[in-house]
Amino acid sequence: MPLKRRLDMAKTAQTPAPEHIDRLILRFSDGQITPEELAILENWIHESDGNLRYYRQFRNMLDNSMPMNINSGMALEKVLARISPESKTKEIIFQLQRIAAVLTIPLILALFLVLMLHHRADRRAEETFTTTTAAFGSVSAFELQDGSLVWLNSGSSLRVPQKFGETRRVALTGEAYFEVRSDASSPFVVSTEGFSVRATGTMFHVMAYEGQRPSVSLAEGKVTVNIGDAAGNGKEMVMVPGQHLSLTENGSEYIIERGDVYKYYSWKDGRLIFRNDLLSDIMQRISLQYNVDIEITDREIMKNRYRATFDEETLTEVLDLLRLASPFEYREIAPVGQPDGSFTKRKIIISSSHTSSK
């Protein structure tokens, strides 16, 4: 079954933007609102007590403004058209000064207060985060507010602001594949422990599990990898499609290789692909995908290399196929119940075929 049918795409209902609500209130005050717009406004007011409170405050400001021979809705349209959601306070003041010649002071103050409320709401949204986590042994796919797509691998989590600011910054723990919607004016940054990846519109994979060598794989476009602190102080590398960058365990050095990078993120499509990979690395990947603890007792067989592709096989089928290429033995330890009612993880112990598995 295709991935898009197997994964539950997380989507949220679209809420009207704050500036759109203000336009509707002003159109209602001017008697120019359409039945469709009135329905949107009424639904928004009834969504929460906070919305109702805001509506009453806004109407109160308008009602207390001096009468004038101008269309207040058009006035606000002009202000909003010139002011982006990320505008700073001084820019808001500057724009209001430009229309001061045609607006009375009470309405200017009312509009200024409205825009300041929007600015503060935007700042609060940028400082409020939601975290999405993929359960162990599963993949979670969802869409971000800017239309970018994310696939989170087993046990991974992504922290995203409620609203993006000038930079679309997210924080990753674990592993994810990104299809970033292009926007050159708003860079997309994935922050992890020790490095970050910066892009504008591209497709790339980031792996940052604790205890494993971090890496970045680029499928399309261009990304800049910064090894350093959250402020972006450190080494910068620009990657091109087909490159795989891996960091050393201490994160101070890196290696860039070229080749088929799909194997690094094939898990998003329910597949496992290995190309001359060490058994130790393969078992690490299998452990994640099947939510199982794997212990290799013989260090020598860790150096065995394999070439294989698995597509929705069971754990037993994967292990049996691998040991056909280079013999080893494995045994399973079933989950054990704990006093708190939970169970331990399923465990697989792998040893050399020359070593008794009993």
pLDDT at 358: 42
pLDDT at 11: 37
**Cβ pair 156, 174 in contact under 8 A:** yes
**Cβ pair 330, 324 in contact under 8 A:** no
CA angle 273, 275, 276 (to 5 degrees): 140
Q: State the alpha helices, DSSP H only, in 69-207.
A: 72-82, 89-98, 105-127
pLDDT at 83: 47
User: Within a 13 Å sphere around the CA of 35, how many CA atoms are in the beta-carbon half?
Assistant: 0
Beta-bridged to residue 225, according to DSSP, are: 197, 237
Its CATH architecture, for the domain 129-263, is Sandwich (2.60)
Question: Smallest Cα–Cα separation from 180: which of 161, 194, 200?
Answer: 200
pLDDT at 54: 80
Taking only the tens of pLDDT, the chain with its 358 residues reads: 443 333 333 333 456 777 788 788 878 877 788 888 888 888 888 888 778 878 877 777 666 554 444 454 555 555 455 444 445 554 555 555 555 544 555 555 666 666 666 555 555 545 688 999 999 889 999 999 999 999 999 999 999 998 888 899 999 999 999 999 999 899 999 999 889 999 988 999 999 998 888 999 999 999 999 987 545 567 889 999 999 999 876 667 889 999 899 999 999 999 999 998 999 999 999 998 999 999 999 888 888 899 999 998 999 999 999 988 878 899 999 888 888 877 888 899 999 876 544 4
When computed from its CA atoms, the radius of gyration of the chain, rounded to whole angstroms, is: 27
296: region left, alpha or beta (phi > 0 left; psi from -120 to 50 alpha): beta
Count how many residues are written for the chain: 358
pLDDT at 190: 96
User: Within a 13 Å sphere around the CA of 38, how many CA atoms are in the beta-carbon half?
Assistant: 8
Instruction: Write out the E strands in the chain.
Output: 129-133, 140-143, 149-152, 157-161, 168-179, 188-191, 195-199, 203-208, 215-220, 223-228, 234-239, 243-247, 254-258, 271-278, 293-296, 305-311, 328-333, 347-352
pLDDT at 62: 64
| Tokens describing residue 29 | 């005050």
Distances from the Cα of 135 to the Cα of 93, 148, 154, 324, angstroms:
48, 21, 6, 31
Domain ranges of the chain: 18-127, 129-263, 270-352
**Cβ pair 299, 340 in contact under 8 A:** no
Distance CA 255, CA 248 (A): 8
Mapped onto helix, strand or coil, the DSSP state of residue 16 is coil
Distance CA 61, CA 42 (A): 19
pLDDT at 2: 42
276: region left, alpha or beta (phi > 0 left; psi from -120 to 50 alpha): left
Distance CA 240, CA 218 (A): 7
What DSSP state is assigned to residue 208? E
pLDDT at 257: 93
The pTM of the full predicted model, rounded to 2 decimals, is 0.63
Fold of 270-352: Phage tail protein beta-alpha-beta fold (3.55.50)
Residue appearing with tokens 């008794």: 356
Question: Smallest Cα–Cα separation from 89: which of 129, 122, 58, 46?
Answer: 122
